[in-house]
Structure formats: structure tokens, C-alpha cells
């Protein structure tokens, strides 16, 4: 039997699963799993990850797949086992509520479904998941996420430490797993969200370091870290010693750990980061969008032409959607992923046909907003460029980068283009 839909079973290292209450209890399902139909050209595992992102609000990592196909009340579904990554975002209106539970409690929730086919299907899925977990290895283990420990964010009192340490794909796959302490003497909890490693003291939950990585041909490179500078939480004040401590800590937790090496699936997941012009890397996206801001400043000052603007928008849109010299993320750089996010964030209205048209409209909307900010700056007698205009343009630029990366609802939940109005300077 070939699946009509693909779904994702989102788990954590403690083997809890995230259940969703279906809005309206459609098809007789009350508490069930995330699933959806495939988008054109979408691979099954990409389909499952998108279902979890949309129905549950989580980014995820593929850990494995259940054997068999599971017929339900309206479709037959194949399921992947996914690990929760980072922290949760918002879920779609098709989900009324979500709840992390152990597998016994999941079965109790499933029995609330009023249709017998729905109940039997989901109970069979849980049974298959139990079998999969019993056979799982280190490489199948879910990564640590923000919910796995009682933690506190990095305080605003912080210092920036410059780093330059490259990690190969095997090391990156270990880092992606994070670290959950199993004994009182283990002093650190760590979780990774794709570009940033968060390191917390296990006893207090205080965030001590937040390490940012960039793509590198060998894997990933640690480029800088924010260090806690609150004297009530952390007393190190020597930047050189602190930077060395960060590298030593990563080595101790991940590189020299006695765990077995991860499998090929993790290598494949991170090898894409080493490809040239990867559109999942913030610096690449930031550079592409810079051209739109440059054009906006030129227009606001009366120095730009409509033809030059059209060229900038056309080239940039092509780089995001069709330029073979750029590497895209399967399941994200498509109408259902990036296109839908751009439509919501940039307030496009009715989505245009095709991703290229949606990207073009979003870029034009971004240009208009940046141009309006510069024109408002020119009309504000109390404003200066570096103190008022540049910070507001940079905030817009960084937000736009998160939208094109798909992390906007995590980093800037609910923010749209309309929120970036000129903030007048005061005499």
C-alpha cells in the first residue's frame, strides 16, 4: 500500500511524544499526530517535517521511519520519527492544543477519538513506535531541546567573544544532539537550534554561553559566542580565557565524549551546510537582501531608476528560486514553505502563482518599506543616520533575513512588515 499522506511523530530524549488535538475533531480524531499531503516535488521525510512544523509548531530532525502504512478514516499514512529541535513556535489553526505525554498517556488520549478506525490506527502507530524505540541506537536518539531542562535566557549583560574553530560533519552531528546531564556532577545542559549552541549551567539553568556557527566546507565553524557578564551568575572577565573555555567545553561535551559516532543520516543532514551559497545560512541571505536596501536608499535620495530597481529585484528573486549556483533546502524553498511564510509576513494578500512570483512581491514590499523609512528619516529634523535611521533599517533587514530562513515565528513571533514604522527622533 502506498501512503496518501506522510506524518511525523515528534519525540524528545525522555521518549515523550507531542500529541495534537485536532480542531473540530475531523475524521473522528480527537488527540492524534501531525500529517499532511505532499507538496509537488516534496520528499516523504520533508513532508513529515513540514507537517510537524505546521501542525505542531516545531522544527525537527529525522530520526527514522516506522515500518508499514497505517490506514485511517480518510487516508493511508506513512510515519517518520522526528526529534524536536530548538524551541516551539506557533501551530496552525488546524490544531486546537498540543500536549507532551509519555506513550502510555498517549494511548489514553487516543482512546478519546470517537471513530473506531481512528482509534485503531493511532494505537497501531504507538505500538510501532514502541518497537522502533526498542531497537533504536545512539544515532536514533532525539536531540536535546529547550524544554528538556529548566533554563533561563542569556542576560542582557553580556560580552562578545570571537572564535575560529571548525568542526567536521561527525563533530557537528554530535553537537546537534545537545547534552542532557544524567548525574549531579555533570555541570552543563546544551541544546542546538541549527546555527546556535546554547550552553547552560545545569544546577541553576543560567545561560552562560551562546555560540554562533557558520557553514564551512568541512562542516561548521564557531565564529563567535556571547558570554554571560552578570557577576551574580558568572565571574569570568578575561575574554581570552573565556573563549578558550568555550572551545574546551565543546570539546569535552561532544568531541571527546564516549558516545558512539552518529550514522550517515546525520552526516547527510549537515553536509548541505558545506555547499556553496547555502540559502539556509544567515550570512548568505543577509548579503542577498542587502541589494534591496541599497536600492531603497538610492531611490529615497532620488538617485535610483526604475529599470535598475527591476534588475535588482529580478536577480535577487532568481537567486532565491532558480539560480543553480545557490543551494536550497528541500521542503522549505517551495510555495508551501517559503512562499507561504513570505505571504503572511510581508502581507502580500492572495499568494501569487509560483514561488518566484511570491519572492518578487516580497522583495518589492521590502524595498518599499525600506525606502519609506529612509524618506521618513530625511523628513525628521531631529534624526541622525547612525543614531536613528541605521538601527531601524538594520532591524528591518535582520527580521527579513529570519523570514527567508523560516525562523521569524521563533525569533519574532507575530511580527509582520507593518510593524516597521518609522520611530521619530526627539529633540
117-135 pLDDT, tens digit per residue, is 999 999 999 999 999 998 8
pLDDT at residue number 283:
76
Strand partners, 221: 166, 214
| Alpha helices (runs of H) in 91-140, residue ranges in sequence order | 103-110, 116-134
What is the secondary structure of 55-95 as a DSSP string?
A: HH--EEEEEEE-SS-EE-SS-EEEEEEEEEES------TTE
Percent above pLDDT 90 for the chain: 55
Mean per-residue pLDDT, 215-243: 88
C-alpha cell at 389: 535611521
- Per-residue pLDDT averaged across 98-115, rounded? 96
> β-pairing, 196-201 with 188-192?
antiparallel
How confident is residue 157, by pLDDT bands cut at 50, 70 and 90?
very high
Asked if residue 260 has pLDDT above 60, the reply is no
Q: Please, what is the end-to-end C-alpha distance for the chain in angstroms?
A: 71
Position 225 scores a pLDDT of 95
What average pLDDT does the chain have?
88
| Strand 17-22 with 95-101, pairing | antiparallel
pLDDT at 271: 54
Task: Evaluate if residue 159 carries a pLDDT over 80.
Answer: yes
Helix, strand, coil percentages for the chain (3-state, nearest 5): 45, 20, 35
Between residues 349 and 419, which one has the greater pLDDT? 419
Residue 410: CB partners within 8 Å, gap ≥ 6? Answer: 59, 86, 87, 89
pLDDT (0 to 100) of residue 272: 53
Residue 274 confidence class, pLDDT cut points 50, 70, 90: low
Give the residue-averaged pLDDT of 395-410: 83
What's the pTM? 0.61
The pLDDT of residue 38 is 86
**Across 80-84, 387-391, 404-408, least confident range:** 404-408
- Does 95 score more than 90 pLDDT? yes
Question: Which of 196-205, 382-391, 401-410 is the least confident region?
Answer: 401-410
Residue 253's contacts (CB-CB under 8 Å, 6 or more residues apart) are 179, 188, 190
> What is the 8-class DSSP label of residue 335?
I
> What tens digit of pLDDT does each residue of 326-362 get?
888 767 788 878 888 899 899 987 766 788 899 999 9
Determine which of 16-30, 156-170, 245-259, 309-323 has the lowest per-residue pLDDT on average.
245-259
**Is the confidence at residue 302, as pLDDT, over 90?**
no
Tell me the torsion sign for CA atoms 407, 47, 91, 417.
Answer: positive
Question: 258: pLDDT confidence band, cut at 50, 70 and 90?
Answer: low
pLDDT (mean) for 392-406: 89
d(CA 367, CA 370): 5
DSSP state string for 141-178? SPPP-GGGS--BPPPSSEEEEEEEEEEEHHHHHHHHH-
Q: Is 90 exceeded by the pLDDT of residue 389?
A: no
pLDDT for 275: 58
CATH topology of domain 5-140: Nucleoside Triphosphate Pyrophosphohydrolase (3.90.79)
165, pLDDT greater than 50: yes
Tell me what the mean pLDDT of segment 299-304 comes to: 83
At residue 257, the pLDDT reads 64
Q: Please enumerate, as own/partner, the contacts of 122-129 that have beta carbons within 8 Å and a separation of 24 or more.
A: 122/29, 122/32, 122/33, 124/70, 125/9, 125/33, 125/66, 125/70, 125/79, 128/66, 128/67, 128/68, 128/70, 128/79, 129/9, 129/11, 129/17, 129/66, 129/79, 129/81, 129/103
Give the whole-number percent of the chain exceeding pLDDT 70.
93
147 vs 39 pLDDT, higher one: 147
Please give the average per-residue pLDDT across 124-149, as a whole number.
90
Confidence of residue 304 (pLDDT cuts 50, 70, 90): confident
Mean pLDDT of 36-62: 91
70: exposed, middle or buried (C-beta count within 10 Å: 0-12, 13-18, 19+)? buried
Residue 289, number of CB atoms within 10 A of its CB: 22
DSSP H or E segment with residue 296: helix 282-300
Amino acid at each position: 500500500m502506498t501512503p496518501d499522506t506522510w506524518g511525523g511523530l515528534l519525540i524528545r530524549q525522555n521518549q515523550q511524544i507531542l500529541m495534537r488535538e485536532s480542531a473540530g475533531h475531523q475524521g473522528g480524531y480527537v488527540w492524534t499526530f501531525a500529517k499532511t499531503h505532499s507538496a509537488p516535488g516534496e520528499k516523504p521525510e520533508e513532508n513529515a517535517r513540514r507537517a510537524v512544523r505546521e501542525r505542531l509548531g516545531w522544527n525537527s530532525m529525522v530520526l527514522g521511519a516506522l515500518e508499514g502504512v497505517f490506514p485511517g478514516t480518510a487516508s493511508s499514512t506513512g510515519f517518520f520519527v522526528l526529534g524536536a529541535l530548538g524551541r516551539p513556535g506557533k501551530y496552525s489553526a488546524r490544531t486546537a492544543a498540543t500536549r507532551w505525554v509519555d506513550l502510555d498517556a498517549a494511548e489514553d488520549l487516543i482512546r478519546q477519538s470517537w471513530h473506531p478506525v481512528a482509534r485503531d490506527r493511532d494505537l497501531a502507530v504507538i505500538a510501532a513506535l514502541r518497537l522502533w524505540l526498542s531497537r533504536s541506537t545512539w544515532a536514533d536518539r532525539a536531540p536535546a531541546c529547550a524544554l528538556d531542562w529548566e533554563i533561563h535566557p542569556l542576560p542582557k549583560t553580556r560580552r562578545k567573544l570571537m572564535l575560529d574553530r571548525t568542526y567536521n560533519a561527525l563533530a557537528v552531528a554530535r553537537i546537534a544532539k545537545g547534552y542532557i546531564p544524567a548525574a549531579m556532577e555533570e555541570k552543563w545542559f546544551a541544546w542546538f537550534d541549527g546555527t546556535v549552541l546554547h550552553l547552560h549551567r545545569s544546577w541553576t539553568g543560567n545561560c552562560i554561553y551562546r555560540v554562533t556557527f557558520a557553514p564551512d566546507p568541512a562542516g561548521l565553524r564557531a565564529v563567535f559566542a556571547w558570554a554571560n557578564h552578570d557577576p551574580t551568575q558568572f565571574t569570568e572577565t578575561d575574554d581570552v580565557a573565556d573563549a578558550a573555555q568555550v572551545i574546551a567545553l565543546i570539546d569535552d561535551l561532544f568531541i571527546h565524549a564516549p558516545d558512539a559516532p552518529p550514522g550517515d543520516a546525520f552526516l547527510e543532514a549537515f553536509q548541505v551546510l558545506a555547499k556553496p551559497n547555502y540559502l539556509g545560512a544567515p550570512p548568505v541571505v543577509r548579503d542577498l537582501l542587502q541589494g534591496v536596501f541599497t536600492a531603497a536608499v538610492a531611490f529615497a535620495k532620488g538617485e535610483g531608476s526604475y529599470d535598475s530597481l527591476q534588475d535588482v529585484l529580478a536577480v535577487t528573486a532568481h537567486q532565491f528560486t532558480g539560480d543553480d549556483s545557490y543551494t536550497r533546502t528541500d521542503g522549505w524553498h517551495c510555495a508551501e514553505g517559503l512562499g507561504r511564510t513570505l505571504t503572511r509576513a510581508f502581507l502580500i494578500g492572495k499568494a501569487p502563482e509560483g514561488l518566484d512570483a511570491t519572492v518578487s512581491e516580497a522583495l518589492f514590499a521590502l524595498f518599499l518599506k525600506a525606502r519609506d523609512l529612509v524618506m521618513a528619516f530625511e523628513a525628521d529634523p531631529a534624526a541622525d543616520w547612525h543614531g536613528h535611521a541605521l538601527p531601524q533599517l538594520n532591524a528591518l533587514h535582520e527580521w527579513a533575513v529570519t523570514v527567508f530562513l523560516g525562523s521569524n515565528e521563533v525569533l519574532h513571533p507575530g511580527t509582520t512588515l507593518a510593524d516597521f514604522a518609522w520611530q521619530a527622533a526627539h529633540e
